[in-house]
Structure 1
């Protein structure tokens, strides 16, 4: 049979290498970094581990070999990501975001662009190179990013503009939430891959592009590092672009007017990785709680694992983790088959993995009882990390489910394509669904709710 869940010798070695890094390099610095009150300090404390991950090939391993990367498959990336995320998914997000940004050069760039932008990322002698993925914008009216493919022109949708003047693009606007974009010193990542509006007269399907902004470009600044509840070891930023000028050739060639496809494909590629990240956290919570249940009596005569209800709950937890893992694996394999064109299974895995993780961690907390609320145990951290999965990386409600809806509603959708490993083509006419709901009075906010006297 072609179906075989056993890992090859090479995959076992890769898994063990990732586990060794996670347990012996990353884990010792996580408690201190996670406890840092300043969010940038928390991120900066991970730099030694990041440099080591770079040297071991984890930081840029997904980029093409011909430019110095590892050409690691999506499926093999699953093995690395689960081990690192079982220790800390925030740190793993820093690694993932390198790919969210730079894989777009690999997919949409010319050979010359790949040489220019990918080789430096893969051959940094210091091992400190960071790439930012700069898409999200602050909520407001208008504001936010979920409806990036809405048909209306500016100011609806992406608000960061790029105007072509005398051979240069001039960027103006703000971004909110991008990871890595501030760099180790809050002066900028080595390169930021920015989704911008290059044509303010067009909607999201025609007016967006991806532009590379190198570190040190005047007019770019980090307004603040966002103080988040979980994933504290990665860096989220509020950014300002004030007449930032970059050469016209800094637009990734295949993205001109196709920034919508860039967003959709990047968050498709990251879907199974975000899913297996959630599996890693769920696995850590399950294993800790299982050990707890076998050693604590809650004042009774026997450890609580001997009680039927606890045994049943942990059985359910174990089954759900396995289901999430195998959906992640198959989605990753599907992306390997079709050059990361797997918009439905990528989103499926991300949604199922993230929401399962929240459920699993909460179940584990219920089993431990109030002791799980004690920060001397790791459950409170696992819950802080878990709550991020359904809302980050193209949130499950805002973008991922809407993307699935767009594909499934299209006449070309084959409901058996995933199970049969057939190609599912994604096109612009699958975008835009649900972006323009019917309003009683378009353009006017609803009346505020008034409590009864």
Structure 2
């Protein structure tokens, strides 16, 4: 009758090994790559570290064992992800996007698609294979995809069209922010592409998912220049009569592209949350060290002052809260067939926002010295600011998913406490997407 928060010996080894990789292989390249003005070149500078991560089994650790992946549990993934995120969450996002791009193939793809694409992802002799997640679209009026599940036809919601033409879908439109520029702006090896296969239906019926492959004719990429997560690849992608074979349509995602989006961002919720924990942990350890070694003009280090001790104590407590909520959300995913549309969203929302505040509190402890680049707080703040607004923005699709479930008359408010499965259905979507 116990609830066990103790890591197993295997999990401790996983944590140790990933921490060693992060500190010894990744960390030496981060500062220079992050400072590189050319965003594509900066991303390319992480390639040797990525190859080492691939060879070590980190890059494809989340894919099923039967196709050569690591088959790690969601809890194990979160434990490993924290150690990478402490050093650089942008690089961690590159690894995460292998999951965002390829886990939908495992969930919704045919046996042939799984064998073809997942096996290729886990058996690349060069160690450079990248998976991609291509859903978001550029802002505009009308445009953008925060309200992807709106129950209106085009032009509302997802605008990228896929029209069946013989043995292929003809794709037209643009995507913005996808993890799909690749090492050379020719795209990742393969990944999930959310398209509108029926423009006359709304987002809960008219969306599907195709597998987009590298060097598909008619697809061009432009690497985005970002303030945060500079070591992750994001792109503007233009589709001009691009043709994707019919056999790349995921059968389980036909008319269910909305489910792919919701499930994917719920699956990645604990990873985004633990990334925020990693950023707060990095800031906290730096601030604690500063407080123990600087007097601020007094006679003893400022750690002896009540305000400093109280603030750092609160930060330390919130880091523990965030970590355990992330472990809990990951555990829920493991118990419920990698479905946690409610818990995953709640975890991602609350932890990423709480940890951002923790980072700033640590900067207040250090004071104006936290602004000096060599001290590293500026980068941490930039990275932490990304987490609440990416990976299914907290103020868009994440909170809407929670709202839709809670508004269901049949919702049991004690379900999470009792570890019951909270099913997410079409009737939970699109709440609040039409103003008024």
Smaller-chain TM-score bracket: over 0.9
Structure 1 residue 221, shift from structure 2 partner: 0.5
- TM-score, normalised on structure 2? 0.99
Moved over 3 A (4+): none
Deviation readout 1:182-224 (Å, 9 max, x if unpaired): 11011111113110000011000110000112112100001x2
Q: Is residue 2:347 matched to residue 1:376? A: no
In structure 1, distance between residues paired with 2:124 and 2:211: 18
> 1:276: which partner in 2?
274
State the distance in 2 between where 1:401 and 1:161 align: 27
How far has the Cα of 1:323 moved from its partner? 0.5
Query: Does residue 308 of structure 1 match 2:306?
Result: yes
- Structure 1 distance, partners of 2:143, 2:102, is 25
TM-score scaled by length of structure 1: 0.95
Please give the per-residue CA displacement for 1:4-39, whole angstroms capped at 9, x wherever unaligned: 111100000000011000000000000100100011
Query: 1:356 Cα deviation (Å)?
Result: 1.3
Match of 2:149 in 1: 149
Question: What's 1:183 paired with?
Answer: 182
Tell me how far 1:352 sits from its aligned partner.
1.4
8 A contact 2:295–2:302 mirrored in 1: yes
Alignment correspondent of 2:21: 21
Question: Which residue pairs with 2:77 in the alignment?
Answer: 77
Tell me which residue corresponds to 2:204: 205
For the residues of structure 2 that align with 1:105 and 1:58, how far apart are their CA atoms?
19
Aligned residue-pair number: 436
Report matched runs for 1:24-423 at 5 Å. Answer: 24-179=24-179, 181-222=180-221, 224-423=222-421
1:117 CA displacement: 1.1
Structural RMSD (CA): 0.7
Q: Provide the rounded CA distance (Å) in 2 between the counterparts of 1:129 and 1:10.
A: 27
Residue in 2 that maps onto 1:443: none
Q: CA contact under 8 A between 2:105 and 2:192: conserved in structure 1?
A: no
Q: Which residue in the other structure is 1:427 paired with?
A: 425
- Determine helix, strand or coil for the equivalent of 1:414: coil
Structure 1, unmatched stretches of 5+, are 439-453
Q: How far off is 1:136 after superposition? A: 0.4
SS in 1 for 2:118: helix
Structure 1 distance, partners of 2:32, 2:361, is 27
Question: What is the alpha-carbon distance in structure 2 between the residues aligned to residue 434 and residue 89 of structure 1?
Answer: 32
Distance 2:33 2:327 in 1: 30
